[in-house]
Structure 1
Amino acid sequence: MSLVSEFLGQLTLNFGGESEPKFPTVVPVTDFDPAKDATRIETAIKTKGVDEQTIIDILTRRSYSQRREIAFEYEKRAKKDMITALKGALSGSLEHVVLGLMKSTAQYDATELKGSMKGLGTDEETLIEIVCSRSNDELMDIKSVYKELFKKELEKEVSGDTSGDFAKLLLALVQTKRDEPTNIVDYEKIDQDSRALYEAGVKRKGTDVATWISIMSERSVPHLQKVFDRYKSYSPYDMKESIRKEVKGDLEKSFLTLVECFENKQLYFANRLSEAMKSKGAKEKVVTRIMVSRCEVDLMKIRTEFKKTHGKSLYQTIAEHTKGDYQKALLSLCGGDD
């Protein structure tokens, strides 16, 4: 298994161009010694009662590629797979965080998507969050890794597990037909799209959802930001209000997530984290997923938005709403207080 994940890691790292700048809280350490880290982790696992602190200190402060090197050294030393050993040593929320960190971002997203469609009933919330918030490049990575891991096409799984306009929207997004951003601003097209969104929704009786789907799944993000601004000159409501008036249920949630991510993706995640921690007994699944999947992408920016919007730092909020080793791991991924 470890060789497969090794190969998948390579695949993920070298797939697609990077278009979005990164604002990670977890970065490679400079004086990195994988053999030393592997030895410390082996000792921590063997210790009576398991030394969770050492495992947290090492794995939450190394980049994914460094974690892979540690796992490789561990296997050479202990003659067994480090992920299996961690699974046996840890449990509960901490186990979810640590095992999540042993996957690349794309592997982690693919596994979360698979989990959301497994067994009876679909976890629509997870599906919506991942599919509607990932960029074209991220979705391409996820699709490629999904096929490697599960021998199935993500498109087929999504269409088999959802229905109606909700399925159509998710499929349109997974097909990654979104235009790449360009320096040329096409004012005519901005105006056409704004009017088309208005005429397909608020202006008529019943919503022409197909038009909404094609515009929101195919236009570049900077173009859509201008479209939503222009939209206000046609409609008495802004785009989010229009969505709430026109559609309901999972389709409404998906369109709202898209618009929020187009407008400010990091604010979307900051709000998700805030909501998840407000609920009694913190929605750990959501908190874990965002912290693990964004720590090497844009968690630093999410932190900034969190403090700006909620008046309290993400670090303090995690400290208040979580406990034990799980809390320690999340605070370490958070990378400091604001």
Structure 2
Amino acid sequence: MASVWVGSRGTIRDYTDFSASRDAEAVRKAIRGIGTDEKTLINIFTERSNAQRQLIAKEYRAAAGKDMKDDLKSDLSGNLEHVMVALVTPPAVFDAKQLKKSMKGSGTNEKALIEILASRSSKQMKEVSEAYYTVYKRSLRDDISSDTSGDFRKALLTLANGRREETVKVDQHLAKKEAEVLYNAGEKKWGTDEDKFTEILCLRSMPQLKLTFDEYKNISKKTIEESIQGEMSGHFEDLLLAIVKCVNNTPAFFAERLHQSLKGAGTDEFTLNRIMVSRSEIDLLDIRAEYKKLYGCSLYSAIKSDTSGDYETTLLRICGGDD
């Protein structure tokens, strides 16, 4: 059964000469010794796929009687700990935890909510919702509901439901019709009918939306982005724009997010870790190419100049190469 978390453009693939018990033993030694052997941990976790890391964790528990993730947590610290724990977490659980962190406490991290919900497929969202309930005994929908409001909440909930169509077949007639609907709901109207935007942008398949956006440009002589920027505001606008970016070019969307996390005064490790780990088996090669195209330098060199130590080494290994 192919995982919905594995694509063909990742930097990390299954390790060929894999032995879960051998790796588990090496991880145990690396943690148990005097001082942690970070090098071994980095070598193993950045060269095994997530599915293989889960098998290592299983073997580790059988041999050590303890949870590998807990041992890593108590043995490592700071950014290295965060990225290592991320690597050994199943993808759906990782997303669920990132969503929970984005909603916990006094402020909501809307950017993270938007990034995850705008970019995941329906199948992925269904797994994330299940994982969320398993881990927190609460529904993701309820937490989003109590943490957001208005049109923004409505759109997030639609995405969280995982009801976006996944077919690759496109319907030219429907694209024309829905481009009209969007035009009439926004540009043409005094006041905007936000529900129409939510319905179409959160439920139609990505290829279908691409066609609809082309038709939209024909009708309104503006891109859908320009219309959204003119008609909407706040987090709802940010979410719709994120969806449009993912429709047009998902790797470019992530390249831009990575750039924002690396530039400026401090590094946003929360975002950096999430994207590097969650895209490492899906499309990180394409994200690297887009990064180079957009910013004139490689993602590798940007990470290198912004991080240090074992944390830097780990991220560079996930990155997989310099462009």
Partner of 1:242: 227
Given the alignment of the two structures, is residue 101 of structure 1 paired with residue 87 of structure 2, yes or no? yes
Q: What are the Cα deviations for residues 192-245 of structure 1, in whole angstroms up to 9, with x where unaligned?
A: 111111111111221110111111112111111011111111223211111111
Residue segments in structure 1 that go unaligned for 5+ positions in a row: 1-13
State how far apart, in whole Å, the 2-side matches of 1:272 and 1:19 are: 20
1:305 to 262, 265, 290: 290
Partner of 1:33: 19
Q: Structure 1 residues 76, 20: closer, same or farther in 2, change over 3 A? A: closer
> Within 5 A, what are the aligned runs for 1:190-209?
190-209=175-194
Residue segments in structure 2 that go unaligned for 5+ positions in a row: none
Partner of 2:58: 72
State how far apart, in whole Å, the 1-side matches of 2:56 and 2:5 are: 29
Residue pair 1:25, 1:335 contacting (<8 A) in 2 also: yes
Calculate the aligned-residue CA RMSD, in Å. 1.7
Q: Structure 1 residues 261, 20: closer, same or farther in 2, change over 3 A? A: farther
Residue pair 1:200, 1:207 contacting (<8 A) in 2 also: yes
Partner of 1:212: 197
Partner of 1:231: 216
Given the alignment of the two structures, is residue 264 of structure 1 paired with residue 249 of structure 2, yes or no? yes
Given the alignment of the two structures, is residue 331 of structure 1 paired with residue 309 of structure 2, yes or no? no
Residue pair 2:5, 2:281 contacting (<8 A) in 1 also: no
Letter in 2 for 1:111: K
> Within 5 A, what are the aligned runs for 1:175-190?
175-183=161-169, 185-190=170-175
2:112 to 120, 126, 136: 126
- Aligned-residue offset at 1:247: 1.0
Q: What are the Cα deviations for residues 245-264 of structure 1, in whole angstroms up to 9, with x where unaligned?
A: 11111111101100000111
Letter in 2 for 1:99: V
Given the alignment of the two structures, is residue 63 of structure 1 paired with residue 41 of structure 2, yes or no? no
Q: What are the Cα deviations for residues 107-138 of structure 1, in whole angstroms up to 9, with x where unaligned?
A: 10011111111222211111111111111111
State how far apart, in whole Å, the 2-side matches of 1:57 and 1:20 are: 21
Partner of 1:277: 262
TM-score (norm 2): 0.95
- Aligned-residue offset at 1:26: 1.1
2:238 to 253, 256, 260: 253
Residue range with higher mean Cα deviation, 90-99 or 73-82: 73-82
- Aligned-residue offset at 1:186: 2.4
Corresponding residue SS for 1:131: helix
Letter in 2 for 1:164: G
Partner of 1:151: 137
- Aligned-residue offset at 1:182: 4.0
Given the alignment of the two structures, is residue 83 of structure 1 paired with residue 75 of structure 2, yes or no? no
Residue pair 1:17, 1:137 contacting (<8 A) in 2 also: no
Q: How many percent identity over aligned positions?
A: 43
Partner of 1:166: 152
Corresponding residue SS for 1:192: helix
Q: Structure 1 residues 247, 33: closer, same or farther in 2, change over 3 A? A: same
Residue pair 2:5, 2:91 contacting (<8 A) in 1 also: no
Q: What are the Cα deviations for residues 87-108 of structure 1, in whole angstroms up to 9, with x where unaligned?
A: 1110000100011111111110
State how far apart, in whole Å, the 2-side matches of 1:103 and 1:253 are: 29
State how far apart, in whole Å, the 1-side matches of 2:3 and 2:85 are: 27
Letter in 2 for 1:234: I
State how far apart, in whole Å, the 2-side matches of 1:294 and 1:43 are: 29
Letter in 1 for 2:153: A
- Aligned-residue offset at 1:139: 0.7
Residue range with higher mean Cα deviation, 261-270 or 33-42: 33-42
1:295 to 252, 265, 280: 280
Q: How many pairs align? A: 323
- Aligned-residue offset at 1:187: 2.2
Given the alignment of the two structures, is residue 315 of structure 1 paired with residue 304 of structure 2, yes or no? no
Given the alignment of the two structures, is residue 52 of structure 1 paired with residue 46 of structure 2, yes or no? no
Corresponding residue SS for 1:232: helix
Corresponding residue SS for 2:219: coil
Residue range with higher mean Cα deviation, 70-79 or 149-158: 70-79
Letter in 2 for 1:231: Y
- Aligned-residue offset at 1:35: 2.3
Residue pair 1:107, 1:146 contacting (<8 A) in 2 also: yes
State how far apart, in whole Å, the 2-side matches of 1:179 and 1:35 are: 41
- Aligned-residue offset at 1:21: 4.4
State how far apart, in whole Å, the 2-side matches of 1:233 and 1:79 are: 63
- Aligned-residue offset at 1:168: 0.6
